[in-house]
């Protein structure tokens, strides 16, 4: 059979039944094979960057390896930003890049290119993939695919690249046959480590569990909840872990970090035992002063990557218990320990947290006048939560838009919230919606994106329509790069450069563009119109473009200014509130 047919049959047999991509001279045989495989779905994107982002979202939801197929040269290089999203968030993807024929490869010759569009894909991608290799002979294709998929999935998952010269795509190989299953790998016992961890949790007086994105992989997310309910300890979530438990989960107190709630930061700074599950404690969570992060806490972390725990050595932030394992293994091994868990008496701690909850301000801006011409984003997100279906997939982009969304959305049990958490490129959420829909076609989905972000992926508005994705696009249209304005206010006395029209930025008339493309468009520009506007958006079965005019000066408050500890966010608290917080006695486990 043709080698490209072999590849597609192999992928279907391994469960990757959808590819995202754009054709080109060096990929035509791969696309030919896709078109002749009834079991293989295809989304043709407007920009290859969207293919790698869509494959990333496909994988996040399905647990299968997300696959892209593109041509050589610019087709391959355009994948890069989406590949970074997968690399930094540990998402398994496979990038199949067409390459010039083997006899046109530059090899060791002292020239830049021989074949048309020849590009050194392996070198370009090697620093942001787990593995990058080029097919050298037709007979190696099965081994290469076996290796690529297992590397993508095993340990800490991530993207892999397979570069396939055009002449090999059309070479003849033995027909595809499923290979025998490989024996399961043995894992070292975790018992000793778990004894120590549960003993620490049982002694805790002011404990908290931090749930991160590692818990959201499809085979882990549902398994985590029984353990969390058995432990019944206070919970904080990172943005990436927001959908691990719903908003109404007992003792769940929301997010914490640099752009997050004051309550969460008070909890983490006063905790005596912290259990980190699926979070590497990024700088957005700890702030810059590592030695002042959770200063009195014994911190336990479970992570498959030892480096993520060891990286704090010498910084003043001590991970005192390090459990190096994948979370699926941890959850399984922790089950018997959770059964026999003697939950510490933490009534005093809970009461203290709930007092803080009453004392601390909500930081919700006051609503703008109804004729201001715009709405307030925080009010809007809170109202939006009430309109989403119980199994809604929510794709959020970046900037202020992401901050307002994560800090104010109220998620229900069956809902998922996805973003490219660690790489956070503008223009992820719309292409990711294509991947989310391909992974779970029957689920309702909403994309929340800023005007800056949408400008980068505008072409995919056409793909959404062409693919019939019933996407509700919520555009936070503040006519600027809002988050950058705030950064420039903080660091450069508001010397705006390239952040809005006045400072050099060109932004499209998005509502008009969407209308011209054939979208049903709903514009919301008054506080009093939010409820009816959203009702209209969600009453329509097909795609809807909702242009929300957002306050161009909306702030991302509260947030942590450089050089402060987490509990001292800006704007500073009123003296009376600050004094009330200081009166709280502490009952900590001595470190
Ligand atoms: C590709 C890319 N370029 C630049 C940035 C830096 N950046 C982060 S958010 C942002 C502005 C986002 O504007 P918009 O999407 O309108 O969101 P807003 O803050 O206005 O809600 C910029 C320039 C980035 N994250 N990604
Ligand atoms: Mg904006």
Residue 165's domain spans which residues?
3-169
563 domain-assigned = no
Q: Which atom of ligand 1 lies at the shortest distance from residue 377's CA?
A: 21
pTM over 0.95: yes
Q: Using the 3D structure, point to which of 296, 330, 359 is the last residue of a domain.
A: 359
149 domain-assigned = yes
- 398 Cα to the center of ligand 2, angstroms: 9
DSSP state at residue 347: H
Q: Using the 3D structure, point to which of 333, 359, 385 is the last residue of a domain.
A: 359
Q: Are 378 and 364 in contact (CB under 8 A)?
A: yes
Total domain count for the chain?
A: 3
- 33 Cα to the center of ligand 1, angstroms: 38
433 domain-assigned = yes
Same domain (yes/no): 127, 78: yes
Q: Which atom of ligand 1 lies at the shortest distance from residue 481's CA?
A: 13
Same domain (yes/no): 332, 389: no
* Burial group, residue 168, by CB count within 10 angstroms (0-12, 13-18, 19+): buried
79 domain-assigned = yes
In 94-185, where does DSSP find H-type helix? 121-125, 141-153, 166-169
Rounded to a whole number, what is the distance in angstroms from the first to the last CA of the chain? 65
* pLDDT per residue of the chain (591 residues) written in tens, 0 to 9: 999 999 999 999 999 999 999 999 999 999 999 999 999 999 999 999 999 999 999 999 999 999 999 999 999 999 999 999 999 999 999 999 999 999 999 999 999 999 999 999 999 999 999 999 999 999 999 999 999 999 999 999 999 999 999 999 999 999 998 876 566 667 788 999 999 999 999 999 999 999 999 999 988 888 899 999 999 999 999 999 999 999 999 999 999 999 998 999 999 999 999 999 999 999 999 999 999 999 999 999 999 999 999 999 999 999 999 999 999 999 999 999 999 999 999 999 999 999 999 999 988 999 999 999 999 999 999 999 999 999 999 999 999 999 999 999 999 999 999 999 999 999 999 999 999 999 999 999 999 999 999 999 999 999 999 999 999 999 999 999 999 999 999 999 999 999 999 999 999 999 999 999 999 999 999 999 999 999 999 999 999 999 999 999 999 999 999 899 999 999 999 888 888 887 776 666 666
Sign of torsion over alpha carbons 143, 148, 150, 155? positive
Same domain (yes/no): 305, 392: no
Same domain (yes/no): 94, 202: no
Same domain (yes/no): 164, 264: no
Same domain (yes/no): 25, 71: yes
- 299 Cα to the center of ligand 1, angstroms: 33
CATH number at residue 532: 3.40.50.970
User: 549 CB contacts (<8 Å, ≥6 apart)?
Assistant: 373, 374, 375, 477, 478, 523, 524, 525
Q: Which atom of ligand 1 lies at the shortest distance from residue 453's CA?
A: 15
564 domain-assigned = no
Same domain (yes/no): 15, 164: yes
Same domain (yes/no): 276, 140: no
Residue whose C-alpha is closest to residue 94's, from 140, 50, 56? 56
Q: Are 117 and 26 in contact (CB under 8 A)?
A: yes
Tally of residues, the chain: 591
Nearest-angstrom CA–CA distance, 453 and 529: 25
574 domain-assigned = no
Nearest-angstrom CA–CA distance, 3 and 25: 16
Which ligand neighbours the alpha carbon of 420 most closely? 1
Residue 391 dihedral angles phi and psi, to the nearest 5°: -120, 30
Same domain (yes/no): 74, 218: no
The binding-site residues of ligand 1, defined as CB within 6 angstroms of any ligand atom, are 397-401, 424-426, 450-453, 476, 478, 480-484
456 domain-assigned = yes
Ligand 1 pocket test, pick from 454, 481, 499 with the greatest ligand atom count within 8 Å of Cβ, gives 481
Nearest-angstrom CA–CA distance, 576 and 572: 11
Same domain (yes/no): 538, 408: yes
Same domain (yes/no): 122, 253: no
581 domain-assigned = no
Same domain (yes/no): 201, 330: yes
H-helix or E-strand containing 475? strand 472-477
């Amino acid at each position: 059979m043709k080698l490209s047919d072999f590849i597609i049959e192999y992928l279907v047999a391994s469960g990757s039944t959808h590819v995202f991509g754009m054709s080109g001279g060096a990929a035509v045989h791969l696309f030919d094979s896709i078109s002749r495989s009834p079991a293989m779905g295809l989304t043709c994107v407007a920009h290859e960057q969207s293919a790698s982002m869509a494959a990333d979202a496909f994988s996040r939801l399905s647990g299968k390896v997300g696959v892209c197929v593109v041509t050589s040269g610019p087709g391959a290089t355009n994948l890069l930003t989406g590949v970074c999203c997968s690399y930094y968030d540990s998402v398994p993807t496979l990038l199949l890049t067409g390459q010039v024929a083997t006899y046109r490869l530059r090899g060791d010759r002292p020239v830049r290119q021989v074949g048309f569009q020849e590009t050194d894909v392996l070198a370009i991608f090697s620093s942001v993939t787990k593995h990058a290799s080029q097919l050298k002979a037709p007979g190696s294709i099965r081994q290469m695919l076996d290796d690529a998929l297992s590397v993508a999935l095993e340990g800490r998952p991530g993207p892999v690249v397979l570069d396939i010269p055009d002449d090999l795509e059309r070479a003849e190989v033995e027909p595809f046959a499923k290979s025998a299953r490989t024996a399961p790998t043995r894992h070292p016992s975790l018992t000793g480590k778990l004894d120590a961890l549960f003993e620490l949790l049982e002694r805790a007086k002011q404990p908290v569990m931090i749930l991160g994105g590692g818990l959201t992989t499809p085979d882990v997310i549902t398994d985590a909840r029984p353990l969390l309910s058995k432990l019944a300890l206070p919970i904080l979530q990172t943005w990436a872990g927001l959908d691990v438990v719903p908003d109404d989960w007992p003792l769940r107190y929301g997010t914490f970090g640099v752009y997050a709630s004051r309550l969460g930061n008070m909890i983490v700074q006063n905790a005596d035992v912290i259990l980190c599950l699926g979070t590497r404690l990024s700088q957005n969570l700890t702030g810059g002063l590592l030695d002042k992060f959770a200063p009195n806490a014994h911190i336990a972390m479970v992570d498959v990557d030892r480096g993520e725990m060891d990286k704090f050595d010498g910084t003043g932030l001590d991970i005192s218990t390090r459990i190096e394992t994948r979370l699926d293994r941890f959850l399984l091994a922790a089950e018997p320990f959770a059964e026999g868990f003697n939950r510490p008496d933490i009534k005093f701690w809970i009461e203290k947290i709930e007092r803080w909850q009453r004392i601390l301000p909500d930081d919700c801006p006051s609503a703008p006048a109804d004729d201001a011409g715009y709405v307030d984003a925080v009010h809007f997100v809170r109202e939006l939560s009430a309109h989403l279906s119980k199994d809604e997939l929510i794709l959020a982009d970046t900037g202020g838009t992401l901050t307002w969304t994560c800090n104010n959305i109220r998620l229900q049990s069956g809902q998922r919230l996805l973003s490219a958490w660690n790489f956070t490129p503008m223009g992820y959420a719309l292409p990711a919606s294509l991947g989310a829909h391909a992974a779970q076609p029957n689920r309702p989905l909403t994309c929340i994106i800023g005007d800056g972000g949408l400008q980068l992926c505008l072409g995919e508005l056409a793909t959404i329509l062409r693919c019939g994705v019933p996407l509700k696009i919520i555009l936070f249209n503040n006519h600027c790069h809002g988050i950058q304005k705030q950064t420039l206010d903080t660091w450069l006395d508001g010397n705006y450069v390239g952040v809005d029209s006045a400072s050099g930025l060109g932004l499209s008339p998005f509502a008009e563009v969407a209308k011209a493309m054939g979208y049903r468009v709903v514009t919301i520009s008054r506080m009093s119109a939010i409820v009816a506007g959203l009702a209209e958006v969600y009453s329509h079965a097909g795609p809807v473009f909702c242009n929300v005019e957002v306050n161009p000066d909306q702030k991302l408050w509260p947030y942590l200014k450089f050089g402060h500890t987490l509990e001292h966010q800006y704007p500073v608290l009123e003296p009376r509130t600050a004094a009330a917080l200081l009166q709280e006695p502490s009952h900590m486990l001595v470190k």
